[in-house]
Structures are given as C-alpha cells and as structure tokens.
Structure 1
Amino acid sequence: MQTARTRSKSRAKAEINVVPYIDVMLVLLVIFIATAPVVMQGVTVDLPQAQSETMNENQQTPIIATVDKAGQYYVSIDTTSEKMGSLDELTAYVSAQLQKDPSRPVVVQGDAQVAYDNVIQLMNALKTGGVKSVGLVTEPINSN
C-alpha cells in the first residue's frame, strides 16, 4: 500500500507555466510604447496658418520638402526624414525619388518664422529638379 502512495506523489504535474510568457509580453509592450513617439514623420516646424483644402486620403503619401527656422533643409518620405546639406542635394534626392514614382505628390513645409526667400529658393530648386507641381503645407486658421 505504501508503494501506491509514493507513486502518486512522485508524478510530475503537466502544466504550462504562463508567467514567463506574460513577462516577455509586458517587456515587448514597454519597448513599443517607448519607441512609438520616436517614430514620427518629418521635422517639427511651426507652420503658417491659412485657409486651404486638405489632401485626399486616396492620394499617395507626399514627398515633404521642409525648411526649418534655422534654414536647414529636410526631405521626408513616408516615416523617414533625411537632413540635406544643400538645395542641390535636396533636388537630386527628390528627383531620384520621383524617377521611381513620378505620380507621387511633392509638398513644401516651411516654418512660419523662416524667411520667405528660403521657401521660394526651395520651390525654385524643386522646379529645376523636374518637379511639375508643388503644394504648400499650412495649419488651419484658428477661429478664436
């Protein structure tokens, strides 16, 4: 009779321990939450306000050429933003992207504090680079 007792006590329980899986999932959740704000599109600029139309949701994501208040140039495509050293470099980069997809729209995003001349130079550089149409990014007018 004692042998039956020892046999039943020595059996291992066949259970799956889910605590390590929960720990791994929580660590992954923390990593995603920490990196989500880092993945933002483009460069933060203070846009001028104007009454304008919004882009259609059916349109492709545009190539965004940006000039910040320090006069630095950037190009944003989808979720990546590249700092450009000069207008020539920006023009070559945008032209190369448009050769891959000529139907992609191009928009200019200029900081509200930047000199008007910098935005015009950027638009002229895009025109000489073969961009047929350029849109301007603005903020809606505040009604207060």
Structure 2
Amino acid sequence: MKRFDQINVIPFIDIMLVLLTIVLTTATFISQSLMDIELPEAENTATRPHDKKVIEVSIDAQTGYYLDGKAVSVQALFEQIDKIEKDTALVLIVDKAALFEKFVTVMDRLKHNQFEQLSVLTREKK
C-alpha cells in the first residue's frame, strides 16, 4: 500500500467552493423574501451591483420604512441616511402599493444628501 507524504486538499477546496456558492445564492433569496414587497414592473431593468457594499432602503405598503432589512421610523431612517457616505451605493426598494408620498419623502432626503450611486429596484416586465 502506498503511503501519502501529504494530504490532498483539492477535493476539500472544491466542496467548500460549492457550499459557498449555495450559501451565497440562498442568502440573496432570503434577504429578498424577508419583507412582503411587491415590486413595480419596468422594461429597462439592470442587475444589482455586487462589487461593493450596497445599502437597501425599503418602503412597504403596510408598516413603513426599512434600512438593510430592519424596520425603522422615518426619523431614524433620515438620521441613518445622513451618516452614510455620498459614494455608497444605495438601492431603493418600494412596494408598488406604497403611498407615493413615502417614496417622495425618501427621494427628497436622498437628493438632499447628493448620493452619487442610487438605483430603484423593479421587476422586469414580462
């Protein structure tokens, strides 16, 4: 029987990469389904930037405002928005049944802070 001088770790690395891919994929779907938000449809949609940290500002029809998945009041949201650096990527997620006034209120604060990378999340029209 042949003895190995060292352990072959390449199969272990392959398995770990597959597990990492599965975890990252499911984490994306989990964060999307935490809030009951029905996105509006748009013909021109783009993929979400994955190259750096993205902060999500969400508005739903019933309870109100969320910052990175955590429910916050409008005042707490504005305080947190004021602390965010201007070059941070922001994604605005708004339920299509939410009041337009809520959307305008958040957009006004974001415009006031002059964010450079702001996008609105929508569903692709079918």
User: What is the TM-score normalised by the length of structure 1?
Assistant: 0.57
Unmatched tracts of structure 1, length 5 or more: 1-35
Aligned to 1:60: 52
Instruction: Indicate the structure with greater strand content.
Output: 2
CA distance in 2, matches of 1:57, 1:129: 21
- 1:80-136 CA distances to partner (integer Å, 9 max, x unpaired)? x211112x311221332x23xx43211211101112221111111222345344211
Three-state SS of the structure 1 residue aligned to 2:124 is: coil
Aligned to 1:45: 37
CA distance in 1, matches of 2:117, 2:48: 16
Bigger radius of gyration: 1
Aligned residues: 98
Aligned to 2:66: 74
Percent of pairs with identical residues: 14
- 1:13-65 CA distances to partner (integer Å, 9 max, x unpaired)? xxxxxxxxxxxxxxxxxxxxxxx78x922523000000123236553242111
Unmatched tracts of structure 2, length 5 or more: 1-25
Q: Does 1:84 align with 2:84?
A: no
Cα RMSD, aligned residues only: 2.6
